[in-house]
Amino acid sequence: MQRVAILGSTGSIGTTALRVLARHADRFQVAALTANSNAALLREQASQFRPAFVGCVDQSAEGAGDWQRGSQCLVEAASREDVDIVLNAVVGAAGLDATLAALAAGKRVALANKESLVVGGELVERARAQGGGTLVPVDSEHSAILQCLAGRAPHEVRRVVLTASGGPFREWSAARIASATREDALRHPTWSMGRKITIDSATLANKALEVIEAHYLFGLSYDQVQVVVHPQSIVHSFVEFIDGSVVAQLGVPSMELPILYALTHPDRLEDSGVPSFDPVAASPLTFEPVRLDAFPALALGIGAGRSGGAAPAVFNAANEQAVALFLEGRIGFGGIAEAIGSALAALGGGAHDTREQLLAADAAARRHVREQLEATAC
Ligand code: NAD
Ligand code: MG
């Protein structure tokens, strides 16, 4: 019996994971659940799965008496003795400390929270090496790469190609994209996800986060990680080996399989919930170059990854803050990439050796984006 903690259990990945775990109740037991503020759903999940630990970040949300409150509940759930696997499905840099704590405590981390690796890639690697934990991606592209690699050594890999759906604005002109509305941006063509990652998929900032994630997960240089647009989201990524052979992983767009695989890797479990693949129904499969000029957040993010230091943390924090302002209707869609570019220019070269320095860079980037907005509003 593997005991699983789900951080962010009320979100898109969290609820999907609970559906997968319910189908495999003979193998997995839910040991801990945490949520930000959706106390009603958390209560329902707690009464269905009966975890030993329930945490709620929001102090004021009405819950049960024995819930742990405040952001510390994430680290607590992630490092409990009675937990073997931590599924980190929190959104944003708020997930970093729990990833570090789980790895330091020697757990398997099934990582949906890619922002952990973007903000603190080197800290995460250090925590893993010191604590003896293992890091397995939930992100569908990285799950695909892991499955394609099948244990082959890094020196046998020539490059990986991450697929991107292209988002709702794949065929829009750059001028039309800049003035897209919130409703336009939240209409993702192939995936149903939380709001932040849905906006990231429309700007392609999500693909930049994933390039950085691949760099850290698989020890690849930035020249070895490329992006191609694949509107059907059936091919989840490619690995090209040094002899020229290319291996891909395919499936219908559903997070159930990558979540399950992150729990069982390198083993596989029979799962009746994942539909059988029909290549005829899935066809045609098409591929296009990415339009870097129309989606400036992608090149900004990859550039931040290449710069290293505090730049990836600044990129992530500026993006989080700008997406929040866009969702509040306070900046336009084009303003997201502008805010990221401005924050990177001002703060991208900061110090980055410790968690405290990275969190300071994160806070400074958020402040910078808010101050720029106030300056233009005056
Ligand atoms: P979501 O917004 O649907 O859910 C986020 C969860 O995190 C919720 O349970 C919420 O309560 C919790 N949360 C939010 N802010 C928090 C905070 N400050 N502290 C603690 N908990 C907090 O998001 P999602 O779509 O499920 O995405 C979660 C993560 O998985 C993100 O990093 C995203 O990039 C990644 N991811 C998601 C998908 C997908 O299909 N949804 C696919 C690949 C990767
Ligand atoms: Mg992905």
Q: What is the pLDDT of residues 211-267, one digit of tens each?
A: 999 999 999 999 999 999 999 999 999 999 999 999 999 999 999 999 999 999 999
**Residue 4: is its pLDDT beyond 70?**
yes
**Residue 351: is its pLDDT beyond 80?**
no
Rounded to the nearest angstrom, the distance between the alpha carbon of 196 and the centre of ligand 1 is 8
Closest ligand to 140 CA? Answer: 2
DSSP bridge partners of 161: 226, 238
Q: Which amino acid residue places its CA nearest to atom 25 of ligand 1?
A: 194
208 within 8 A of 298, measured Cβ to Cβ: yes
Q: Which amino acid residue places its CA nearest to atom 20 of ligand 1?
A: 36
Rounded to the nearest angstrom, the distance between the alpha carbon of 38 and the centre of ligand 1 is 12
Longest dimension (CA), the chain: 60
Q: What is the pLDDT of residues 89-107, one digit of tens each?
A: 999 999 999 999 999 999 9
Q: What proportion of the chain, given as a percentage, has pLDDT over 70? A: 100
Pocket test for ligand 1, best of 90, 115, 261 (most atoms within 8 A of CB): 90
Burial of 228 (0-12, 13-18, 19+ CB in 10 A): middle
Atom of ligand 1 nearest to the CA of 191: 40
225 within 8 A of 211, measured Cβ to Cβ: yes
- Find the length of the chain: 378
Closest ligand to 91 CA? Answer: 1
Buried b (16+ CB within 10 A) or exposed e, 130-167: ebebebbbbbbbbbbbbbbbeeeeeeebebbbbbbbbb
What is the predicted pLDDT for the residue at 353?
Answer: 84
Q: What proportion of the chain, given as a percentage, has pLDDT over 90? A: 92
113 lines ligand 1 (CB under 6 A): yes
- CA distance linking residue 311 with residue 343, whole number of Å: 9
177 within 8 A of 294, measured Cβ to Cβ: yes
- CA distance linking residue 3 with residue 24, whole number of Å: 12
Rounded to the nearest angstrom, the distance between the alpha carbon of 211 and the centre of ligand 2 is 10
Rounded to the nearest angstrom, the distance between the alpha carbon of 42 and the centre of ligand 1 is 14
Q: For the chain, how are helix, strand and coil distributed in percent, rounded to 5?
A: 50, 15, 35
Query: What domains appear along the chain, each with residue ranges and CATH number?
Result: 2-137 (3.40.50.720), 142-282 (no CATH), 308-377 (1.10.1740.10)
Q: Which amino acid residue places its CA nearest to atom 4 of ligand 1?
A: 11
Rounded to the nearest angstrom, the distance between the alpha carbon of 90 and the centre of ligand 1 is 4
The encoded tokens of residue 117 equal 């690796």
What is the predicted pLDDT for the residue at 61?
Answer: 85
What is the predicted pLDDT for the residue at 352?
Answer: 81
Rounded to the nearest angstrom, the distance between the alpha carbon of 13 and the centre of ligand 1 is 7
Q: What is the pLDDT of residues 20-76, one digit of tens each?
A: 999 999 999 999 999 999 999 999 999 999 999 999 999 988 888 899 999 999 999
- CA distance linking residue 238 with residue 223, whole number of Å: 15
**Residue 275: is its pLDDT beyond 90?**
no
What is the predicted pLDDT for the residue at 183?
Answer: 97
Please indicate, yes or no, whether the overall pTM of this predicted structure exceeds 0.95: yes
167 lines ligand 1 (CB under 6 A): no
57 lines ligand 1 (CB under 6 A): yes
Instruction: List, in order, residues 6 or more apart from 347 with CB less than 8 Å away.
Output: 310, 314, 361, 364, 365, 368
Rounded to the nearest angstrom, the distance between the alpha carbon of 112 and the centre of ligand 2 is 9
11 lines ligand 1 (CB under 6 A): yes
209 lines ligand 1 (CB under 6 A): no
99 lines ligand 1 (CB under 6 A): no
Q: What is the pLDDT of residues 364-375, one digit of tens each?
A: 999 999 999 999
My answer on whether omega of the bond before 284 falls inside 30° of 0, hence cis, is: yes
Distances (CA, A) of 94 to 74, 98, 121, 128, 348: 9, 8, 14, 19, 20
Atom of ligand 1 nearest to the CA of 112: 30
If you average pLDDT over every residue of the chain, what do you get? 96
Select the more confidently predicted residue: 63 or 341.
341
What is the predicted pLDDT for the residue at 378?
Answer: 63
pLDDT average, residue stretch 195-220: 98
Closest ligand to 95 CA? Answer: 1
Q: What is the pLDDT of residues 165-177, one digit of tens each?
A: 999 999 999 999 9
Pocket test for ligand 1, best of 197, 209, 254, 327 (most atoms within 8 A of CB): 197
